[in-house]
Structure 1
Amino acid sequence: MAQQQLHSTEELDQFVAESGKRLLFKHSTTCPISATAYSEFQAFLQGESVPSAVIHVIEDRPVSNAVAERFEIKHESPQLFLLVDGQVKWHTSHWKITKDAIAQALKA
């Protein structure tokens, strides 16, 4: 399943409004920690059919800020959210973003 990049709050609204489980990754393209976390995220997605989206926090800051405001969760980067029917059911950041952690969160 293709990963979507969100560039606007309208695209964010549409992604969040979909039902079921979805993964949302906030990525800093200039941060080595974020690069490692993004690699873990991509490794998890190989062979998985979970809808996912990424927000580049520097390039699309208004979208990144909208996530923090909407879900009332302090901005971090990298940051990963598991959404279920539009609600955050799990989130983590930095070195805690691993292929195994994502798999466990989806099973819970």
Structure 2
Amino acid sequence: MGIFGNIFNKSDDKSKKEEIKTTINWIPLTTISQIEEIKEKSTTKFVGVFKHSTRCVISRTVLKNFEQNFPESVNEQLDMYYLDLLNYRDVSNEVGYEFQVMHQSPQFLLIHNNIAVLHASHYDITQINLEKNLK
């Protein structure tokens, strides 16, 4: 611990940071072929895609808020995919093309019957009522 840490009683121990508890069963979206899987699944249930920029403070804040407020009751109705768009930009581009949604970051798409029935970006994601939209 540095001198300023001692003076201000701060700790360098990152394990003491509050971990986000989430009920989301994230499925990593890393290949273009998974888009066909998403389309197929969307014929029997809703599929969510969260596109996240790991370098963006806004994206990190929105993701944290999304995870903290995710209603556990929708887990059975919804498969949730997580897309790190910096590492999988080609996949992100294909998601936009397949579901006709202009790229934003962060961005959430709700897909049903091969159509993006809802999409939101930036802080608008935090306003989505998933329970209402899955009915």
TM bucket, shorter chain: 0.7 to 0.9
For this pair of structures, how many residues does the alignment match? Answer: 107
Letter paired with 1:30: R
For residue 3 of structure 1, what is the aligned residue in structure 2? Answer: 26
| TM-score after normalising by structure 1 | 0.87
Deviation at 1:97, TM superposition (A): 1.1
Does structure 2 retain, via aligned residues, the 8 Å contact 1:44–1:103? no
**1:42 equivalent in structure 2:** 67
- Once the two structures are superposed, residues 9-66 of structure 1 have per-residue CA deviations (whole angstroms, 9 ceiling, x without a partner) of 0112212320211111110000011001111221233523121001111100110000
State the percentage of identical aligned residues: 25
Counterpart in the other structure of 2:36: 13
RMSD: 1.8
1:62-86 superposed Cα distances (whole Å, 9 cap, x missing partner): 1000011112211000000111122
TM-score (norm 2): 0.71
Q: Larger Cα Rg: Structure 1 or Structure 2?
A: 2
- Partner of 2:49: helix, strand, or coil? strand
* 1:75 matched to 2:98: no
Of 91, 101, 107, which aligns to 2:128? 101
Residues in 1 aligned to 2:134 and 2:98: alpha-carbon distance in whole angstroms: 25
CA distance in 1, matches of 2:59, 2:129: 15
Q: Structure 1 residue runs of 4+, over 4 Å off?
A: none
**Structure 1 unaligned regions, length at least 5:** none
Question: Matched residues in 2 for 1:105 and 1:75: separation?
Answer: 25
Higher RCO (CA < 8 A, seq sep 6+)? 1
Is there any run of 5+ residues in structure 2 with no aligned partner, and where?
1-23
